[in-house]
Structure formats: structure tokens, C-alpha cells
Structure 1
Amino acid sequence: MDGGKLLFQLFKIVCGFIAGLIAAGVFLAWGFFLPGPPDQDPVVFATAVGSGLVGASVIGAAALVPATVVIVIAEIARLRGLIFHVAAAGAIAFLLWTLGPEGASANAGELRPGSAVALAAGFLAGAVYWLIAGRTSGSWQANSAHKSG
């Protein structure tokens, strides 16, 4: 194990997690406010971005524990695939959305309204995380095949 590589990977994990949360939060806020270009209505644009940052902190508080479990598994198993990270983040987002406050869906057994949007936000967060840290998962571990002689 290379301590420098581990420290750098931990830094990338934190940055990737935060960037993924911001991407998901801004994605959700953007859909809510539907702002145009910043020069058309700067107040709505600023409100969407600010609201996205607040949303990112709420999402982060809810997703921290399941995301940490998935990140640890990915690091130990050296899971570097885009599909794994996107699917895992989508699953976390969908589960958090589904396990939300009771009575949020119209009928038992039906998906809550907005489930597809929550899933898309999770997919986006996973893709952003993969770009920053996921594609190098486990790179800090020593290679199992050592050259001898």
C-alpha cells in the first residue's frame, strides 16, 4: 500500500462526493426554477444555483452513510467501471426518494411522483463522482503480482 496514493485518493473521494452532490442539487433546482441564461434573468439564475447548493447539502446528509459503504466497497474491490458508479448512485438516490416521508405516494405500491427525476439526479452524481475519483478506485493498493528477481 502506498500512503501517498491513498491520501491522494481520499482527497479525490471527498472532492468527487462533493462535486457529485452539487451536480445533483443543481440538476434538481434547475428543473424546479427553469432558469434561462444568466443574462436574461440573473435573479432566477442565482436562486437556482443557491438553491442547488442548499439541496446538495441536504442530499449529502441523507446519502453520506450509504455512499460511504459503496465507496469503501469500490475501493477495496477496485471497482472502476462507470456503470457501477452510476448504477450505485442511482440506486442510492432512488432508495432515499422511495423511503421518504410516508404518504408521499398516491397509492401503496406505486412509485412516488418524481422518482425518475431523483433517479436521474443520482445517475448524474455517480457520473461526476466517477470522473473525479471512481475511475481510479483502489489505485492506492499494492499490485498483487509482484515481480521477483
Structure 2
Amino acid sequence: MNGSRLVFQLLKIVVGFVSALVLCSLFLTWGFFQWDLPEDHPAVWGAITGTGLVTASVIGSVVAVPAGLVILLAELFRVRSLLVYLAGAGLMAFGLWTLGAGDSQTGLRPGTSVALAAGFVAGAVYWGIAGRTAGSWRARPASGARETNAD
């Protein structure tokens, strides 16, 4: 185990998680409120940005444990596939979105596609910052063994 690589990877994990939350929330806010935007009104853009930042903290508090488990497993098993991060974040977003659905609904809630896309955005952002180098802090395999994921 390389200590300096571990510290750098932990820093990338934190920055990646926060960045993914912020961009996901801004995507959600813009996706849900774009239909009612007046032309170039700065107060509306300020409200959308403020709402997005508050939404990021709410989403972060709800998904911290499941996302932390996914990140931990990905680091331990050196999972670097973009598809895994997209699927994990998409499932978390879909689960959050359907969490409050009542029994009287017979289909997907309106806005499900926007929520799912926001999860995909979060997964892609996290992968771009930290996921593509997952497990890089761990010891290298013996020189005779082949590693499937190159750094």
C-alpha cells in the first residue's frame, strides 16, 4: 500500500463526491424549472443556482451511506468501469425519486427521466474525478501476474 497515493485518492474521492452532488443537483434544478424561465432574468438564475446548492446538501445527506459503500467496494476491488458508476448512481437516483411514491400511482412518477439522468451525470462526474483511478493506492500485483486495469 502506498500512503501518499492513498491520501491523494481519498482527496479525489471527496472532491469527486462533492462535485458529483453539485452538478447532479444543478442538473435536477435546471431540468425541473426550465419550463418557466423568463428570458435572461438574473434573479431566476440566482434562484436556480441557490436551489441547486441546497439540493446538493440534501441529496448528499441521503445518499452518503449507500454511495460510501459503493465507493468502498469499488476501491477495494479496483472497479474502474464507467458503466458501474453510471449504474450505481442511476440506481440511487431512481431509488430516491421513487421513495416517496404513493400506492395510488400506477406508473413512473413525472420527472423520472430527469432524476435518472441526474444520477447518470453524478456517476459520470465521479468516475471522471476519482472512479477511473479506483484502487490505485493498493500494492501492485507481482511482476509475473497480469493486471487487467492499467493505471
Q: Note whether the superposition's TM-score is higher than 0.5.
A: yes
What is the correspondence of 1:55-66 to structure 2 with a 5 Å cutoff? 55-66=55-66
The TM-score, its normalising length taken from structure 2, stands at 0.87
Q: Hey, what does 2:84 align to over in structure 1?
A: 84
- Residue 131 and residue 47 in structure 1: after superposition, are their counterparts in 2 closer, same or farther (change >3 A)? same
Question: Which residue among 138, 141, 149 is the counterpart of 2:138?
Answer: 141
| d(CA) in 1 for partners of 2:46, 2:140 | 47
How far 1:107 moved relative to its partner?
2.3
Question: Which residue among 97, 105, 108 is the counterpart of 1:107?
Answer: 105
Q: Hey, what does 1:93 align to over in structure 2?
A: 93
CA contact (8 A) 1:106 1:112 kept: no
What is the correspondence of 1:1-149 to structure 2 with a 5 Å cutoff? 1-34=1-34, 35=37, 40-99=40-99, 101-103=100-102, 106-108=104-106, 110-146=107-143
List alignment gaps of at least 5 residues for structure 1.
none
| d(CA) in 2 for partners of 1:106, 1:30 | 28
| Matched letter for residue 105 of structure 2 | N
| d(CA) in 2 for partners of 1:139, 1:74 | 11
How far 1:112 moved relative to its partner?
2.3
Question: 1:36-55 deviations in whole A, cap 9, x for unaligned?
Answer: 78xx2111111111110001
| d(CA) in 1 for partners of 2:114, 2:142 | 44
| d(CA) in 1 for partners of 2:122, 2:130 | 12
| d(CA) in 2 for partners of 1:92, 1:33 | 22
SS of residue in 1 equivalent to 2:110? coil
Aligned length: 142
Question: Root-mean-square deviation (CA), in Å?
Answer: 1.7
| Matched letter for residue 57 of structure 1 | S
List alignment gaps of at least 5 residues for structure 2.
145-151
| d(CA) in 1 for partners of 2:65, 2:44 | 33
| Matched letter for residue 113 of structure 2 | A
| d(CA) in 1 for partners of 2:82, 2:38 | 31
The TM-score, its normalising length taken from structure 1, stands at 0.88
| d(CA) in 2 for partners of 1:142, 1:47 | 47
